[in-house]
Amino acid sequence: MSITQTDLTRINTFIFDVDGVLTDGLLYSFADGEQVRAFNIKDGFAIKHAMRQGYRVAIISGKNEPGVRNRLEQLGIEDIFLGIEDKVDTYQDYLYMQGIHPATVAYMGDDMPDYEVMQHCGYRACPADAADDIKEISTYIATRKGGRGAVRELIEMIMKAQDTW
């Protein structure tokens, strides 16, 4: 997909799904019921760097696990929406409450629960291993897979286009 500087220079908000975007989509389930995911340290660095530079970062995910929330809070993310069945309603409410214009949002999703919400954002991105339907509607397909640096790739690309990296 082609990218233009004007597409990237208006972005001031990043919204991410968790499973398959911030993680590789694998879920380790233990006998005690705990479910564990692995997060990429470089993605975490990019998120923290973006927030230090004044970008908003939010998470909208269908799952609600304490370990996921802990990791997101450790990164300093305040706008965390977990256990969300209807991502579009949460997305629209968030934008309204924060006064964010949809054209300024870069959203990265990887599978069908992200499909509808991605129709409402300014910049649609997905990891290299996203579902085909998501790739078809994405403005940008990362060269890296979910949980393997796709988030860092998106953030770094947009921030470099704005000379804020």
- Break the chain into its structural domains and give their ranges: 5-161
Q: Where are the beta strands (DSSP E) in the chain?
A: 13-16, 28-29, 35-36, 56-60, 79-81, 105-108, 123-126, 140-141
First to last CA, the chain: 22
pLDDT of amino acid 3: 47
Q: Is 111 annotated as a binding residue?
A: no
Report the predicted TM-score, pTM, of the whole model to 2 decimal places. Answer: 0.94
Q: Is 19 annotated as a binding residue?
A: yes
pLDDT of amino acid 1: 42
CATH T-level topology, domain 5-161: Rossmann fold (3.40.50)
pLDDT of amino acid 33: 83
Q: Is 86 annotated as a binding residue?
A: no
Listed as ranges, residues in the chain with pLDDT below 50 are: 1-5
Question: Of the candidates 121, 125, 130, which has an alpha carbon nearest to the alpha carbon of residue 90?
Answer: 121
